[in-house]
Structure 1
Amino acid sequence: MDKYFVGMRVEVVGHEEGFWNSYFGAIVLRVDRTKLRVRYEELIDENEEYIEEDVAMKHVRPYPPESREVNYRMNVGDDVDVYDREGWWRGEVVFVFDGELMVYFHYMAGDDTEDYGTFPLDRIRIHQEVKEVAKGFAWSHVKVTG
């Protein structure tokens, strides 16, 4: 069974400086033995066309299932992804407000950019990790606290 196929929705995992711990939605256009041709869902070039590129399979994962189906409340210490700047950025909940969360982004620590941000719940998902299994992929929620 091919794990990736043309038309499949995937995320490209940020693998360059400034993009660590980020995930960008894309659609698979072509499948080769070691790479995929993808078209990003949100990223556009200077001509306002969706960016297409060849990406090594090790930098691609299937689009995760909706984490909103999980029946628990996010708490301080939870590992989350925040939708910002056309992608999902991994961070940790550090403060819970009414309807918003303050998130610390480890990947930016020491950089001149902002380490923290406050975001509404509709732009936050529980971070999920994926593992290849015999018949496809298995997902696990990363929940740090209780």
Structure 2
Amino acid sequence: MAFQRGDQVEVLNKEEGFEGSYFPAYIIPRISNKEYIVQYKTLVQGDGSGPLREVFSTDKIRPKPWDIVATDFCLSEVVDAYDNDGWWVGKIIRKMGSKYLVYFKSSSEKKAYPLHWLRVHQEWKDGVWEYSKK
């Protein structure tokens, strides 16, 4: 997929400790047919001087997912939880009052989130968004 300057995207991070996370960003310029410079919306330079920019290959960049309104989640449903400036893929393992306990396979952690910090998990496959929530 070809992106244009200013497109809202998410960048997949596969570094140790960040597996299964997507960070919101904008496309800055295209370097080649396979690489872009992105500017993160939420991450800043180490010295705090401004937004962090990095080069990514197209296989690590996806368009911003659709906004799907969810009023509830079911047990075992795969979701994205917003934490540490990005979206992390996890699974609902319990509902606790108004919060959902989410299990993250990549780190074996469990953490409770209110509904507004969760979203329907979507996968970008062959240029189409796929999701299980109807």
TM-score by length of 2: 0.91
Whole-Å separation in 2 of the counterparts to 1:24 and 1:142: 21
Q: Is residue 118 of structure 1 aligned with residue 119 of structure 2?
A: no
Q: CA RMSD in A?
A: 1.7
Deviation at 1:19, TM superposition (A): 0.8
Runs of at least 4 residues off by over 6 Å: none
Q: Mapping of 1:1-146 within 5 angstroms?
A: 3-31=2-30, 32-48=32-48, 49-68=50-69, 73-109=72-108, 115-132=109-126, 137-143=127-133
TM-score by length of 1: 0.84
Task: Give the counterpart letter for 1:130 in structure 2.
Answer: W
Residue 67 of structure 1: SS of its match in structure 2? coil
Higher strand share: 2
Gaps of 5+ in 2: none
Gaps of 5+ in 1: 110-114
Whole-Å separation in 1 of the counterparts to 2:35 and 2:64: 17
Residue 106 of structure 2: SS of its match in structure 1? helix
Q: What is the percent sequence identity of the aligned residues? A: 30
Task: Give the counterpart letter for 1:66 in structure 2.
Answer: D
Task: Give the counterpart letter for 1:129 in structure 2.
Answer: E
Deviation at 1:65, TM superposition (A): 0.6
Residue 19 of structure 1: SS of its match in structure 2? coil
Deviation at 1:142, TM superposition (A): 3.3
Deviation at 1:15, TM superposition (A): 1.4
Residue 36 of structure 1: SS of its match in structure 2? strand
Contact 2:12 2:20 in 1 (8 A): yes
Contact 1:42 1:86 in 2 (8 A): yes
Deviation at 1:78, TM superposition (A): 0.3
Q: Deviations over 1:24-59 (max 9, x none)?
A: 000000122111100000001232211001101111
Give the total of aligned pairs.
132
Contact 1:129 1:142 in 2 (8 A): no
Contact 2:98 2:114 in 1 (8 A): yes
Deviation at 1:98, TM superposition (A): 2.9
